[in-house]
Structure 1
Amino acid sequence: MSVSPLTENSLHDRKVKDPEDLRCVAVAELPAKGTGVETPGIELENFELSSVPISRVTTAPLVPDAPALTDLELKKARRAEIIGFGALLWAMFMEGWNDGTNGPMLPKIESYYNLNLAVVSLIFVMNVVGFVSGALANVPLSVRVGFGKTLVIGAIIQLIAYVIQSTAPPYPLFAIAYIFSGFGMAVQNSQAMVFTVSLRNSSTKMGIIHACYGLGALSAPLVATQFAYMPRWSFFYLVSMGGALINIIYLSLAFRFQKLDACLLKAGQVVREQGSTSQNNNLYSQIMKLKVVHLLAFFALAYIGVEVTIGGWIVKYIMAERNGGSTSGYISSGFFAGLALGRVGLLWFNKLVGERRVIWLYILLCIGLEIIIWIVPSLVGDAVAVSFIGLFLGPVYPIVMNRTALLVPPWLMSSAVGWIAALGMSGSAVLPFITGVMSNKLGLISLQPLVVSALAVMFGLWMSIPAAVHRSD
């Protein structure tokens, strides 16, 4: 067998029709050490000829004859990438802002509308109805109107929710507004994930974009706590309206209503070839046949349920069980601050331990801290433990998205992310709603056993998710 030299540029000069062809590509000509040049997807071992491990190669072949960029074009591409990624960071910030609002506002909503805990927890159900609807509508929306327009549509629908809530309408209408915010966030979330996994250094960027969610969820309680004890408490949603308006403008200017491929090309990314026509038809039927997608979705269900339950109910728990005062809302900020910090600050640790193994460690640490909150009646101790739980939960969801990119064919990524997000977000209704019902009968002390049980389910589900092996079927 003849061996031809392979350099970074030569990957762009040949058309690879099947990712299986990359299994036996040999390396004969390598860049010198210290040059900073890396050959994507190649395992370099002692400068010897070696095969390309299939687990390190993208399942999506490169577009043939990709032209080399000039310095000017490279600068424009990097600028476009920064602007586009920055717009998505703000969109995720607003998603976190929305979710971080519930903790401090829940006691006020309960007292203002004179509701019991079971009824007030219906806002979580409404939010999930919207999120699941948005996630399912994501694919047909993307196909019909494209990436840029879909993002703006989602942002506008999210704004509608805040317009309704700012007027403090009757509770049924106030709860229905959560359907709009859930739908809008789901559409934006799915599009943001697909764009991010297509970028260079996608694992790091995935951590950053989810950290912005945490920053939004951290910031919202700081502001919401100030409004929660004011007569015009609903004016807090005017602040949310301002953030949503900025989101619409930023997304419109960054992507200019363009298709995903056009946005990626403008950002200097190598656009991946799509599957065949038959592969692109009936996307959801293909997704339903992939067992790993369902395992990831159920894991996401348990994870998001835990995250939203803690973020939404911990303030009420501290006030009821630990005699916390009006400033208890800041404990929710501590949780989301840990969430944001963990998604960026623990990136190095994730790589050191390995993403698959580190998830088990984080879950065990969270279980231990939840048990401490359960049995140790200390206001300060519980507040610190809640912050550390946020820290260790933070990296989990970005890792789930990274594994999805490794385990799912590229032409199914948008549908897979939509399905995982849809089923996952149902956890943000199921667990908080169960918490409300149980608290009505048993008291809020039932919160910790429920969260510990959900974390144990996460541990078991992660064991059933296979190691990362790229699929192309």
Structure 2
Amino acid sequence: MGAMELDILSSPNGMNASVQSLSRLNRVYNQNDSNHGGITQIPDLQKAPQNAVESSLEYDLGSGDKAISHHKGREYIQLAALYWCMFLAGWNDGSTGPLLPRIQEVYNVGYIIVSLIFVFACVGFISGACLNVPFSEKLGFGKTIVLGSFLQQTAYALQAPQLPFPVFVMSFTINGIGLALQDAQSNGFVASLKDHAETKMGLLHATYGAGALCAPLVATQFAQMEHWSFHYLVSLSVATINTIVQIAVFRFKTQDDCLVEIGQEPGEKGTSEHSHFRQIMSLKSVHLLAVFILVYVGVEVTVGGWIVTFIQTVRGGGSKSGYISAGFFGGLMIGRIVLLWVNQKIGERRVLYLYSALAIGLEIVIWLVPSLIGDGVAIAIVGMLLGPMYPITMNHTGRILPRWLLTGSIGWIAGFGQAGSAVLPFMTGALASKFGIKSLQPLLVSMMAFMTILWAFVPGAPRKTD
């Protein structure tokens, strides 16, 4: 090939001219081929680059579809493991109410002494909330969540043999630490997801409601048996399955590594020189949300824990009253799924005021209208209205707090908030000792009103943090 030919082909215009010439030559050969039948058709060189690009795109798209499908499948497995973890948390909280009268009978203790169960659990929750931040930094997500599950196994192993009352109540501290660690890690992980996080958070807490629904059905049966404490053997089995699942799915990996497995980039990192714990403690919104969750969880566990005693004592319900607790937690589960569209339609921040007002109205009905059936129905509806509040709060936390502080912040909020499951039930026991269990309803109404006021002070927009 001569120098002039090389110059022509090296320029874009020259290349186009050459391709056009070859294309014309192709048409001439085609004519000869039709007339004489002996010339082979030359491929259309104008279309060759385009065909190559299209083939490459089709290959890339096919590979991309396979990668997306793999990531989605892996994400579903991870979510299923976390859902089982929250099922166990609900199972734990739903077990106490039906067993409470039997615990009083077996250990011969009154309202205040039996309420020490909630106090020791409170110590565990707060301890777990404080430990979660350093554990998350040093051990990582996978190891911390397995440690929490193992602590729950230990607690149930101590509760099942019906050991002396001091040992029995102390085991609730171990249980509280385990629950706080798992609660923090599960909520922090789901809040970090970028696609449909609100729906996934709602489903996460719906499985909590499912566990809290199933537990009273089983605990009510054990409460009538001689070996009532064997209920905790069932709990031990559920916790053992949970530990195995967490190890198999997350394999002690960090949260960032687990997110990469589902095709999501790790979250942004902070630039502050201060420790994560110090940064978290400096955020006013974290403390407001923590107090809100404390009151919310306190109301939820107080209803689930003491409503059976209220129905039996004040409304004359029989030994089957434990099923009313199941109705409350069933409503809790249903509300977290069925009301998702209402949350999206009205807006999560605004809809919480509506749910609070309706729940307060129904609690006043339970307080003032002496109807066993009516109270049972109203309690279930209260559960449905309270149900969405916890996931709404966690979603809001994910919107207003920095990503690099999210897991630690949610850990503190959830762990500190779980203290409400001890403070309010203990207050209920103390008031019941002095005024009778009928004091339950006015306490719940006042706490729900306080909770609604607190929500008004929670910031609606994110705060900039280094």
State the one-letter code of the partner of 2:447.
A
Q: In 2, distance between residues paired with 1:110 and 1:87?
A: 35
Q: TM-score, normalised by structure 2?
A: 0.85
CA offsets per residue over residues 13-49 of structure 1, 9 Å max, x none? xxxxxxxxxxxxxxxxxxxxxxxxxxxxxxxxxxxxx
- 1:438 and 2:431 matched: yes
Please report how far the alpha carbon of residue 134 of structure 1 lies from its aligned counterpart in structure 2 after TM superposition: 0.9
Closer, same or farther: CA 122–339 of 1 in aligned 2, 3 Å: same
For 2:33, the equivalent position in structure 1 comes to none
Partner of 2:373: 380
Q: Is the 8 A contact 2:189 2:407 kept in 1?
A: no
* 2:28 alignment counterpart: none
Counterpart residue identity of residue 312, structure 1: G
What is the SS of the residue equivalent to 1:101?
A: helix
* Deviations 1:248-275 (CA, angstroms, capped at 9, x unpaired): 0100011011111110000111222211
Q: What amino acid maps onto 2:167 in structure 1?
A: L
- Counterpart selection for 2:224 from 205, 224, 229: 229
Amino acid at match of 1:462: W
Query: Would you say 1:352 and 2:345 are equivalent positions?
Result: yes
Provide, for residues 195-254 of structure 1, a one-character-per-residue CA deviation record: whole Å limited to 9, x for no partner. Answer: 101222100000000000000000000000010010011111110011001000100011
Instruction: Name the CA distance, whole Å, in 2 between partners of 1:325 and 1:143.
Output: 50
- Deviation track 1:76-96 (CA, whole Å, cap 9, x = no partner) reads 211211111100000000000
SS at match of 1:126: helix
Task: Supply the distance in 2 between the matched residues of 1:151 and 1:384 (Cα, whole angstroms).
Answer: 37
Q: 2:199 aligns with which of 195, 199, 204?
A: 204
After TM superposition, the structure 1 = structure 2 runs for residues 52-201 of structure 1, keeping only pairs within 5 Å, are: 70-199=64-193, 200-201=195-196
Match of 2:440 among 440, 443, 447: 447
Task: Please list the CA deviations of residues 97-154 of structure 1 after superposition, one character each: whole Å capped at 9, or x if unmatched.
Answer: 0000011000010000000000001101111111111111111111112111111111
CA distance in structure 1 between the partners assigned to 2:115 and 2:276 by the alignment: 34
The separation in 2 between residues aligned to 1:190 and 1:227, in whole angstroms, is: 31
CA contact 1:407–1:471 (8 Å) conserved in 2: no
Does residue 462 of the first structure (1) align with residue 452 of the second (2)? Answer: no
Q: Counterparts of 1:142 and 1:467 in 2: how far apart (Å)?
A: 27
% of aligned pairs identical? 52
Offset at residue 409 of structure 1 (A): 0.6
Distance (whole Å) between structure 2 residues aligned to residue 319 and residue 468 of structure 1:
46
User: Does 2:387 correspond to 1:394?
Assistant: yes
| Deviation sequence 1:422-442 (CA, Å, 0-9, x none) | 221121111100100110110
Partner SS state of residue 397, structure 1 = helix
2:310 alignment partner in structure 1: 317
Q: Give the 3 Å change call, closer, same or farther, for CA 171–395 of structure 1 in structure 2.
A: same
What secondary structure, in the 3-state scheme, does the structure 1 residue paired with 2:161 have?
Answer: coil
Indicate the residue corresponding to 2:334 in structure 1.
341
Aligned mates of 2:439, 2:62 — CA distance in 1: 60
Structure 2 Cα separation of the partners of residues 298 and 236 of structure 1: 32
Bigger drift between 237-246 and 71-80 goes to: 71-80
SS of structure 1 residue aligned to 2:264: coil
Give the one of 235, 251, 255 matched to 2:250: 255
Q: Which amino acid aligns with 2:220?
A: T
- What does residue range 263-342 of structure 1 map to in structure 2 within 5 Å? 263-276=258-271, 278=273, 281-342=274-335
| 69 and 216 in structure 1: CA distance in 2 versus 1, 3 angstrom threshold | farther
Quote the Cα distance in structure 2 between the aligned partners of 1:276 and 1:143.
15
CA distance in 2, matches of 1:277, 1:194: 20
Do the aligned residues in 2 keep the contact of 1:198 with 1:269 (CA within 8 Å)?
no
In the alignment, which residue of structure 2 is the partner of 1:244? 239
Q: 1:421 aligns with which of 414, 424, 428?
A: 414
Contact residue 290 and residue 413 of structure 2 kept, 8 A? yes
Query: d(CA) in 1 for partners of 2:89 and 2:227?
Result: 23
Looking at structure 2, the residues matched to 185 and 68 of structure 1 have their Cα atoms a distance apart, in angstroms, of 43
Counterpart of 2:230, as a letter, is: F
Aligned to 1:56: none
Query: Hey, which bits of structure 1, 4+ residues long, moved more than 3 A?
Result: 468-473
Quick one: distance in 2 between partners of 1:71 and 1:452? 52
Paired residue type of 2:436: G
Q: Which amino acid aligns with 1:433?
A: F
Task: Give the Cα separation in 2 of the matches to 1:135 and 1:267.
Answer: 27
SS at match of 1:119: helix
Shift in Å, 1:470:
5.7
Distance 2:138 2:320 in 1: 47
Q: Structure 1 residue 468: deviation in Å?
A: 3.2
> In terms of mean alpha carbon deviation, does 142-151 or 373-382 score higher?
142-151
Output the CA distance in 1 between the equivalents of 2:62 and 2:266: 14
Note the C-alpha offset of 1:68: 11
Match for 1:236: what amino acid?
A: H
Give the residue type in structure 1 aligned to 2:137: V
Q: Which consecutive residues of structure 1, in runs of 5 or more, have no partner in the other structure?
A: 1-66
Structure showing greater radius of gyration is 2
Q: CA RMSD in A?
A: 1.4
Q: Which SS does the other structure have where 1:70 is aligned?
A: helix
Q: Distance in 1 between matches of 2:155 and 2:424?
A: 23
